[in-house]
Amino acid sequence: MTQHAAATEAERPAPGRDQPRPRFDETADVIVVGAGPGGSTTAAYLAGHGLDVLLLEKTAFPREKVCGDGLTPRAVKELISLGVPTPAEDGWIRNHGLRIIGGGMRLQLDWPDTAAFPPYGLVRTRQDFDDILARHAAARGARLHQRTNVAGPVLDDRGHIVGVRAKLVGQDDRPTGEVRTFGAPVVVAADGNSSRLSLAMERPKRDDRPMGVAVRTYYTSPRHDDDYLESWLELWSESPETGQRVLLPGYGWVFGVGDGTSNVGLGILNTSAAFGKVDYKDVMRRWVATMPEEWTYGDDTQVGPIRGAALPMGFNRQPHYDRGLVLVGDAGGMVNPFNGEGIAYAMESGRLGAEVIASALARRTPAERERVLASYPRVMKDALGGYYTLGRHFARLIGHPEVMRLATRYGLPRTTLMKMLLKTMANLAEPHGGRLDDRVITALSRMTPAA
């Protein structure tokens, strides 16, 4: 499975049935569209399974993405499983836990020490992180094509995807006018929240799932080497109707990047009536203005503009497999509704998706391959579905300002409760045995219906 064909006939059979295929400029066993954490993880595992993988990225590395740059122990576990080294001398910044600020209190909690997850998190800018994962996938054997902007699917006569069309992008980030086609019996959409490939395959977002928005920037600061992630639970805005202050459902963050800067940002859920009616960049500016002067967060120390991005949560695009197309990461709405974390789940879905795809392509007949591929939605629901259902209920609950205010006021003083809440929101419960709180969290996730 090492053919690197150019302008050849695609000979590999489609998952559904053997049939002639159109001519492609290049073919592979699997095409992965998008080289973010989900796509690169998928490609790396598939290549490790001995499959020929094309990894198509519309931009060129290194490139920036809007993110908090913080990795919880769940994400660190995925890096360990993938075999990505994270030594401090290479710029990986370890953190010991979460510092929570709200209701006039300041509570510092260490990450839980369990057998399932490492007791530390990491910080690495997305500009570095995505590049590292893409290079790791290439080192494992994936064929990385940068500046290759996928414009749409190539379908067979059943409506199954059998390839993609892509526009090549020049060094000036403008289309060159050249179009190339790539063919494979399985295509993975890892092209983010907007996921043009999913939309072209008739998989729009679900309106009954929470969405979030995040904005962030960087500031030079003496706090750049803080070894705790910091979360601020009280974000206020002004109601455009009444002019009164409104407590927003979400949190602000301050993450030390270790390079002389802090990543400062906020995430807001759409479960509040104020969603879409406030200027989130203005909310952030007002919040940052309340911070101590010695932290040096201000216009003079700001590095780059305030950028924003959507957070697709709780499996907001389904099914995760249909007609040859597998969804991973943000394309499948994999962001955790409890805390807005996306990297860990993008990598997890990439790992699980690669296992299903490799198993499917090892089968002898098209019908057998299709049956295995069709199991992927159930695999994802078994892994995260119940937990995400709990997260959706949580997101709706804190959308009420009074609930958010009471939770901050009466929850933060109770350290034992907050330790359990941290373990729940970061999805760090020991899945097999563990302490009483681990067993309670795991039981709730398993008992809650996946949808």
Mean pLDDT of the chain: 92
Could you tell me the pLDDT band of residue 183, with boundaries at 50, 70 and 90? very high
Ranges of each domain in the chain: 8-65+126-207+314-387
Q: What is the pLDDT of residue 243?
A: 67
Q: Helix or strand or coil: residue 253?
A: strand
Q: What is the pLDDT of residue 6?
A: 36
Tens digits of residue pLDDT in 112-148:
999 999 999 999 999 999 999 999 999 999 999 999 9
Kindly state the percentage of the chain with pLDDT values over 90: 80
Tens digits of residue pLDDT in 345-363:
999 999 999 999 999 999 9
- Fold annotation for 8-65+126-207+314-387: FAD/NAD(P)-binding domain (3.50.50)
**361, 367, 368, 372: CA torsion to nearest 10:** 70
Closest to 426 in 3D by CA, of 101, 108, 111: 111
Q: Helix or strand or coil: residue 391?
A: helix
165 vs 451: CA distance, rounded Å: 32
Q: What is the pLDDT of residue 62?
A: 93
Contact, 119 vs 73, CB < 8 A?
yes
Whether residue 401 is predicted with pLDDT greater than 90 in this model: the reply is no
Contact, 39 vs 188, CB < 8 A?
yes
Whether residue 10 is predicted with pLDDT greater than 60 in this model: the reply is no
The DSSP code sequence of 147-212 is SEEEEEEEE-TTS-EEEEEEEEE-TTSSEEEEEEEEE-SEEEE--TTT-HHHHHTT-PPPTTS-EE
Tens digits of residue pLDDT in 188-201:
999 999 999 999 99
Kindly state the percentage of the chain with pLDDT values over 70: 94
Closest to 47 in 3D by CA, of 71, 29, 26: 29
Q: What is the pLDDT of residue 242?
A: 66
Query: Does the N-terminal peptide bond of residue 305 adopt cis geometry, omega within 30 degrees of 0?
Result: no
